[in-house]
Structure 1
Amino acid sequence: MPQTLLPNIVEFMAQIDPFDKLPPYCQRQIAASIKITYLAQGERIHFSTDQEDCYLYIIRTGSMEQRKTDGVLRAKLGKEDIFGFSFLQTEEGTNSHAEMAYTATAMENSLLYLIPHAKLKVILEAYPEYAQHFAAQAQVRIQSALSVVWSDDEKGLFFKKVSEVASGKVAIVSADMSIQQTAYKMTVEERSSMAVITDNGKIAGVITDRDLAKRVIALGLSTDKPISDVMTVNPLVIDHDDLVMKAASMMMQHNVRSLPVVKDDQVVALLTTTHLVQEHRVQAIFLIEKIKYTDSLEALTELTSERQAIFEALVKGNVGAEIIGQVMSMLMDAYNRRILQLVEARLGEPPCLYTWVVAGSHARNEVHLLSDQDNAIILSDDVSKNDRMYFQLLAMDVCKWMDACGYTLCTGNFMASVRKWCQPLEVWKEYYRKWASNPEYERLLNISVFLEVRSIYGEKVLSDQLQAHLHQLLGESRSFLTILSNDAVSTQPPLGIFNKFVLEKNGQHTNTLNIKKYALNLIVDLARIYSLSAGGELTGTEERFRYAHEKGVISEDSLKDVIGAYRFITRIRYAHQLEALKNGEVPNNHISPDMFGSFERKHLKDAFRIIADLQDVMKLRYGKL
């Protein structure tokens, strides 16, 4: 290899996992041993038991397809992907070369870097602390990678609240101030890259130093003009209590470098990309970015394993249940939005305004591996009969592709692809009027699903108007909460372990506990009713309980108890789903009593008792017509 290429190769390798884990001197040693080869489209590399020279291959440019000896697809690889790990065998008793043999074919003209196994082994023997990153067994490498991604430092950043990370330096100016005065405030007084413009105490817009360069200096605009002439109106903001991960996701989604941080609708700080240094690599953030730039629906389906790996890393890292739900919801949001964009591109521009709303666990930001689709479309009232066909096709395609990406179709048919749930705003309002005035069983089921909805795409104002209408109706219907409460307490948690434990008696899940039906759903119902009784419009389970406490509906002790119970039961559920995932099984909510040791049994008893106590209080307060 020409020595002139060495610096470029070292720089390239230093950005690729797992070589980025190695110290620079190891990277240089490996780079110096590299052979470079070029494969034309269709050329193959055969891996067999009798080959003498083995290499680890890095795809510099191009793409490769791996197939086993029987022709079954093994993997598709692209730029910066690595293969050839299987022949880095270092221990006896592992899979034979024959079992791991395969053929790699260039799908297009490809440039490869070849690292001799012999050289790599010498380096790893000298530095065994890095050997796990290059293990022959895929599961060892995956575990190694995840443990790096979810280091304590990284959790400390991305799972902190925005208020813990953002800078207090932010320029705040009034809308009538001049461009020159604003620039002075930003650069001299506050040394801030953004100014927030207010009008009568409310946020009217923002301006960044880059905006000033493009909109003022480049165009020769007079700096005596008011800043309101060049500001960005309706700016994105982030709440001080939101996760840094959510803020980072917003920055990538909308391609912005700064976000004003608000508390009670007042700007208190500024969060910029400089707070999110490159060293803090969180896999979920990169997956959201991948989803955003995926250019085909088919390509989105290939990212499922990455989403599962993120879930595994979160659970194994003992990240809080509330945060896991938020992260998985952000990923589901990203999939749903991108699929909507790609389907719209295929069908053409929508003929009228609409918004895509999600319901259930997705709306509550409590997504997990079993979360299915609960969604709907709210159309503007000027939609024509012909326009309706467009949205039916849109909804069917979106739901189909969400299913292909691992978000299963709703068995209850609460999806936008069902015509009943793809309606103009006025029809939705009529639905709610009927449900609230006469909540019979079917109507009660419908409103239970759509009591919490969240707009993730389109004209959010349509969803806001519908939610305002709903809460007005609930405030006028005295009997609604009573009927909702009676339904909620019709199922009770199992207070005995295990002789009185509520177990399925027949079918596929005989002698298992349905932890969703007999625990988590009960807590979700409690949070919904307690929050609604206080006029709350929040959707998340924990935030609903906190709101109910703030309004004096539940005591501080009850708040701590029920949130503790909710988090513990959710943790049990996540652990069960993770175990199924590791065993190659389909995750479910049915847990065998054999899984529980004394620790779990003890705390489950406490959790179920807390639920039962809150149900009793709710029956006394709301359970009489």
Structure 2
Amino acid sequence: MEIELREIHDFIARHPPFHLLTPDQLAALIPYVSIRYLRRGQPFPPARVEEASFYLIRSGAVELRDAQGRLIDKLAEQDSYALPCGDENGTAPHAQTAEDTLLYVIPCKQLAPLRAQNTDFDRYFSLSAPQRMRLALEGVAAMAGEGSERIVMRLPVGDLTDRQPVMVQVGTSILETARLMGEENVSAVLVMEGENLVGILTDRDLRQRCIAAGVSRHTAVGDIISRDLVTVQEHTILADALMEMTRRHIHHLPVMRGEQPVGNLSVADIVRYLGTNAAFMASDIDRANSIEALQHVSARLPELQLQLVVSNTPARQMGEIISMISDAITRRLIALAETKLGPPPVPYVWLAGGSQGRNEQTAHTDQDNAILIADTMQDEHEAWFTELSRFVCDGLNTCGYIYCPGEAMASNPRWRKPLSTWRGYFNDWIERPQPRSLMLSSIFFDLRPVHGDSGLFEELQQTVLQLARGNRIFIAHLVSNALSHRPPLGFFRNFVLIHDQKHDHTLDIKHRGVVPVVDIARTYALSEGIAAVNTWARLEAAQNTGALSQEMGRDLIDAMSYITALRNRHQAEQIRQGLPADNYIDPRTLSGLERGHLKDAFAIIKTMQEILENRHQSGRLI
């Protein structure tokens, strides 16, 4: 898929209702997406679009007005306009662009077959927002295990409100209130009379009761609010609060501690908490205009990891989601840097390595990255790339992705080089393998493009795969490296546990469980010329080449999935307790069932390592 289509695909995939489509359905739709550019003040929907279409705003803004010209709504970046494709015959508002606007346009007739194939996608066009929210909740509950529903739905709502409510007094004018809502970036404010909560004002109220009704902007908010207020106490469980919101058809619910408001729970908060907030985070990242704003979004990553575990998200998918957020933060930092520095002097591509490169991250690992630059680079271009790498790596560190202890980062001049230099690096590492190159293999043999000219990376990758495939000496070193990370021998009596003050009597699940499978998968991939870098994908590809039997491949995939899931659950529990997440599991905290499964997983890894060792000693590649 060419770069422009890939960008369209990635943008659309993050936004409702297209997140409900399968990958194949989404891929089939993308060729029918057209792009329209409208200057400020032009009619919307755009002229010369002859067929009914769905519109997704890529950038810009659109104002919707009633027949009298009064503003009733405003669509901004990432908002959609689906009225032409809906099942209800609503009255189309008068609309025009409020600023230069870029649109993605999708003919309704192209959505029709997808609606017929995908019930959830079809419901988007026929259900109201509260109904869609309820449907999403039912879907999450259906996917969640028995324990996860108990954890999420029985959490007190006080735990879900992460900021103090924005409040105004009854005498505050509509204008002042609207300004405050904009400054605080909230969709509702609580209205107080002295120390008492008497009402709530939402952005919808502003549109319907003020703008559409022609009420003066200097009118006091106390004159327009409804005083039939519904509240919940902070100890109310989420399930009960959600039922109340659904029954009352309300979108905001003040959370009280006795008689004092301590939060304002919204439908968006609930949907965000119930597992769909990766899309929300990606949207917030795209909107961020500073490192500080990105830092604020990134701080939610541990919560996202907790939610993904609670909702029983498969380990592979969870790593992909967390890595997607890391990619988005990286790309946004690059965009901010390029805004500051100007366009790049020559083509380049930013690469992620290590767990991010493999799409296997957990929240806030250290950063591993590099820059691959076109060979047209001149000496005078070095300053630009130095500033870029410094800005992005410093920004990642601020966002919680700490500097790599081994300095395997683009800010290190050694890992910020032209294509020819990188080819030389890999040629040395493969043709003359040394302990240093084996140490680097976990980072630089797992590279993946994040931003820029992916063609440069493809050229480098082809070189690497051609050099590595069938290279007996290099593969022998990879096998030796894969055998250096052994799972514990035996079980708890003989568990190789850590004995130090900080992690006493714990098992390092990453280095004794995850890393051995990652190393095995990398060995197979490089020996067979497999381009994939994700561990699951490498094992699947190795099965397809015949180098790895279907049975052993399936067993290794299961072992990787179980060990990673156990690690994820361990970290989620630490996050829930407000502790920093790590990889050190106390075996005494595991149930008998968990211990049995872990023993089986380690046995699979041990068997596979023995097979690798025997083949290596017999002179076979692997």
TM-score class normalised by the smaller sequence: 0.5 to 0.7
Which residue in 2 is equivalent to 1:386? 380
Please show how residues 400-419 of structure 1 align to structure 2 within 5 Å. 400-419=394-413
TM-score normalized with structure 2 length: 0.61
- Identify which of 417, 429, 452 aligns with 1:423: 417
Post-superposition Cα deviations, 1:47-80, rounded to whole Å, max 9, x if no partner, equal xxxxxxxxxxxx754359xxxxxxxxxxx94231
Q: Paired residues, what number?
A: 427
Give the deviation of 1:370 after TM superposition: 4.3
419-428 or 556-565: bigger deviation: 556-565
Post-superposition Cα deviations, 1:188-246, rounded to whole Å, max 9, x if no partner, equal xxxxxxxxxxxxxxxxxxxxxxxxxxxxxxxxxxxxxxxxxxxxxxxxxxxxxxxxxxx
- Identify which of 370, 380, 398 aligns with 1:376: 370
Partners in 2 of 1:331 and 1:315 — Cα distance? 16
TM-score normalized with structure 1 length: 0.61
Post-superposition Cα deviations, 1:62-111, rounded to whole Å, max 9, x if no partner, equal 359xxxxxxxxxxx9423155699x999xxxxxxxxxxxxxxxxxxxx98
Structure 1 runs (4+) deviating above 3 angstroms are 14-22, 34-41, 81-85, 110-122, 127-151
Task: Tell me, yes or no, if the aligned pair for 1:354 and 1:379 is still in contact at 8 Å.
Answer: yes
Which residue in 1 is equivalent to 2:283? 289
Give the deviation of 1:579 after TM superposition: 1.0
Partners in 2 of 1:143 and 1:81 — Cα distance? 9
Which residue in 1 is equivalent to 2:187? 80
Paired AA for residue 243 in structure 2: Y
Partners in 1 of 2:225 and 2:354 — Cα distance? 50
Which residue in 1 is equivalent to 2:496? 502
Partners in 2 of 1:480 and 1:468 — Cα distance? 17
Task: Tell me, yes or no, if the aligned pair for 1:483 and 1:623 is still in contact at 8 Å.
Answer: no
After superposition, the Cα gap between the structure-2 partners of 1:592 and 1:384, relative to the gap in structure 1 and judged at 3 Å, is same
Partners in 2 of 1:618 and 1:538 — Cα distance? 20
Which residue in 2 is equivalent to 1:104? none
Partners in 1 of 2:492 and 2:586 — Cα distance? 11
Partners in 2 of 1:17 and 1:402 — Cα distance? 37
Which residue in 2 is equivalent to 1:209? none
Task: Tell me, yes or no, if the aligned pair for 1:528 and 1:541 is still in contact at 8 Å.
Answer: yes
After superposition, the Cα gap between the structure-2 partners of 1:534 and 1:129, relative to the gap in structure 1 and judged at 3 Å, is closer
Partners in 1 of 2:539 and 2:371 — Cα distance? 28
Give the deviation of 1:479 after TM superposition: 0.8
Which residue in 2 is equivalent to 1:398? 392
- Identify which of 427, 434, 437 aligns with 2:431: 437
Which residue in 2 is equivalent to 1:612? 606
Which residue in 2 is equivalent to 1:574? 568
Partners in 2 of 1:498 and 1:541 — Cα distance? 27
Task: Tell me, yes or no, if the aligned pair for 2:232 and 2:256 is still in contact at 8 Å.
Answer: no
Please show how residues 249-398 of structure 1 align to structure 2 within 5 Å. 282-398=276-392
Partners in 2 of 1:621 and 1:336 — Cα distance? 41
Give the deviation of 1:371 after TM superposition: 2.5
Which residue in 2 is equivalent to 1:38? 172
Give the deviation of 1:399 after TM superposition: 0.6
Partners in 2 of 1:527 and 1:598 — Cα distance? 29
Q: Do residues 556 (structure 1) and 536 (structure 2) align? A: no
Which residue in 1 is equivalent to 2:523? 529
Which residue in 1 is equivalent to 2:467? 473
Task: Tell me, yes or no, if the aligned pair for 1:512 and 1:593 is still in contact at 8 Å.
Answer: yes
Which residue in 2 is equivalent to 1:130? 243
Partners in 2 of 1:140 and 1:296 — Cα distance? 27
After superposition, the Cα gap between the structure-2 partners of 1:88 and 1:601, relative to the gap in structure 1 and judged at 3 Å, is farther
What SS class does the counterpart of residue 38 from structure 1 fall into? coil
Paired AA for residue 427 in structure 1: T
Post-superposition Cα deviations, 1:509-533, rounded to whole Å, max 9, x if no partner, equal 1211110100100010111112222
Give the deviation of 1:622 after TM superposition: 2.7
Paired AA for residue 289 in structure 2: D
Which residue in 1 is equivalent to 2:485? 491
Which residue in 1 is equivalent to 2:180? 62
Partners in 1 of 2:367 and 2:556 — Cα distance? 27
Paired AA for residue 622 in structure 1: H
What SS class does the counterpart of residue 494 from structure 2 fall into? coil
After superposition, the Cα gap between the structure-2 partners of 1:144 and 1:353, relative to the gap in structure 1 and judged at 3 Å, is closer
Partners in 2 of 1:143 and 1:570 — Cα distance? 33
- Give the fraction of aligned pairs with identical amino acids, expressed as a percent: 30
Paired AA for residue 172 in structure 2: Y
Task: Tell me, yes or no, if the aligned pair for 2:255 and 2:265 is still in contact at 8 Å.
Answer: no
Task: Tell me, yes or no, if the aligned pair for 1:369 and 1:577 is still in contact at 8 Å.
Answer: no
What SS class does the counterpart of residue 172 from structure 2 fall into? strand
Partners in 1 of 2:393 and 2:433 — Cα distance? 28
Partners in 2 of 1:395 and 1:542 — Cα distance? 30
- Identify which of 580, 604, 622 aligns with 2:616: 622
Paired AA for residue 350 in structure 1: P
Structure 2 residue ranges without an equivalent (≥5): 1-70, 74-126, 136-167, 198-219, 246-252
Q: Give the alignment's Cα RMSD to 1 decimal.
A: 3.9
Task: Tell me, yes or no, if the aligned pair for 2:301 and 2:364 is still in contact at 8 Å.
Answer: no
Give the deviation of 1:361 after TM superposition: 1.0
Task: Tell me, yes or no, if the aligned pair for 1:580 and 1:586 is still in contact at 8 Å.
Answer: yes
After superposition, the Cα gap between the structure-2 partners of 1:546 and 1:585, relative to the gap in structure 1 and judged at 3 Å, is same
